[in-house]
Amino acid sequence: MPNVNQRQRDINYPEVAPQNTFSHNTFTILTLLFISFILTFPTIVMASGQTTREQLSLATQLFEAGRFSEAASIIRTIRKKPDPPNQIIFLSGALYYQEGDYNSAAAEFRQLLISDPSLLRPRLELARTLYKAKDYQAASYHFKQVLATPMPEQVSWNVRNFLRDIRERSMKVTFSLDLISDSNPTHSTSSEVINIAGIEYRLNENAKARKSWGVAFTGDVKWPVPTDPSIYSRARLEANRFQDRRLNWSYLQLMGGKHFRFINHTLTAEAGGHTSRYDDRFLYDGLALAVSDIYKLSVSSDWGIRYDLKQLNYPDYTYMTSLHHSIAAHWFYADTPVSRWQLGLGMIQNDADEQAYSFTSPVLSGRYLYEWPGGLITKISLEYSDFTYAGIDPFFAVKRHDTEKLIEFELINRNWQWQGLAMRFIAGIISHDSNLDLYRYRQEYIRLGLTKEF
């Protein structure tokens, strides 16, 4: 049975990997951090101010001594009162964690971050709680944000160990479910008139963009092999269902992979297959290969690179059958506990059976996330692509050249929760330009859905 010091350590700090132990100095530093957090957290003094302070002091002492049942009677009595002190909310979360009630513990720590998202201690405890609850997507987010704050090297090392374990050895289930309103799901041209061989044609109404609404689902599941978690299988499903069934689309990918761990980076190789349907009919299938690497640049930043090769076999549109290559590099940087940058640079090459449908496209992307007091999280994404086609377009007798610009805004409020899922709102605009009128279009969309990312 663990002694008092072991309990204290397990509550206050991320666990070290089983084969490692904390040094005495690290334990002392972290103990001081915990006590400092408790003592410096702003206290809301109620009518019986002196009594409340005495109760807080006693509850903290009992908690630190590992006398959890005695501390619980004080903590939960004060927690039920209106506007409890932040110390009590924190201790309540730590108590739920100790009891194994990770959902309640996470709710308490999230409540503290709603009032002040810059707080380090609640975010660290929230990350560890979500890890215990096997909500690895959300745990990973908070662990990464914690690394933006200077901390003892041993704590930083432990956090990085958690992140590596989540990435390489843990089963993960992620999904999103959204109601969508799309102004142009078919990417129909925005041009009124097109010119073919010197003759102008006016498009009829059926060829123009039509607004539609529906439901979008994305799910990704990863199953590690129990005897060797570095080997895994993974399934990804994307599906859109619109009121007009002719717009229905789905994509399924099944892969097997292995992680190869090195000192400062992890190489991953995957192989499998994929298939897609459109208008509830078979569209394409083929083999899929991927190689990726994630490298830690510093405590708060890392970069990843990924190469994908996919066969696209179109039985009904053989001229589009192709080998699709893509390589992308991303840089991630958490500059503060409440903000994060992501910058990307990529290249796509599509080698189709007919040159008119082969193209290369560099892609630039950027994303910025910020957490506001009160529970609001905002995210803005920008992306630019440039498409150069290899062959002469069969309709217009010239080579096609397109550009595409995307801007997307996302809003999440931690106060809007249902069954542990936070509601999110997304609005985006895609502007696709081309030297050929037929391929110009504009698309505006709104999504309202659920996420567990935060």
φ/ψ (deg, to 5) at 411: -130, 130
CA quadruple 151, 154, 158, 160: dihedral sign? positive
Residue 454 DSSP class = -
The strand pairing partners of 444, in sequence order, are 429
pLDDT of residue 51: 64
Query: Residue 123, CB half-sphere, CA atoms under 13 Å: how many?
Result: 24
pLDDT of residue 299: 77
Domain ranges of the chain: 4-122, 172-451
| Structure token digits, residue 404 | 């595409």
SS3 67: coil
φ/ψ (deg, to 5) at 221: -125, 135
| Structure token digits, residue 126 | 């929230």
Instruction: Let me know: does 416 contact 407? Beta carbons within 8 Å.
Output: no
DSSP string of 361-428, one letter each residue? EEEEEEEEEEEPTTSEEEEEEEEEEEEEEEEE-TTTSSEEEEEEEEEEEEEEEEEEEETTEEEEEEEE
| Structure token digits, residue 63 | 């908690």
pLDDT of residue 38: 45
How far apart CA 132 and CA 443 sit, in angstroms, is 41
Low-confidence ranges of the chain (pLDDT < 50): 1-50
CATH 2.40.160.60 applies to domain 172-451: yes
The strand pairing partners of 238, in sequence order, are 218, 251
How far apart CA 415 and CA 376 sit, in angstroms, is 8
Instruction: Let me know: does 45 contact 81? Beta carbons within 8 Å.
Output: no
Domains 4-122 and 172-451 share a fold: no
Instruction: Let me know: does 102 contact 134? Beta carbons within 8 Å.
Output: no
Instruction: Let me know: does 377 contact 411? Beta carbons within 8 Å.
Output: yes
pLDDT of residue 418: 73
How far apart CA 324 and CA 312 sit, in angstroms, is 7
Instruction: Let me know: does 95 contact 71? Beta carbons within 8 Å.
Output: yes
pLDDT of residue 59: 86
CA quadruple 310, 186, 448, 409: dihedral sign? positive
CATH value of 4-122 in 1.10.287, 1.25.40, 2.60.40, 1.10.3210: 1.25.40
pLDDT of residue 348: 98
Relative to beta strand 249-261, strand 301-312 is: unpaired
| Structure token digits, residue 454 | 């935060």
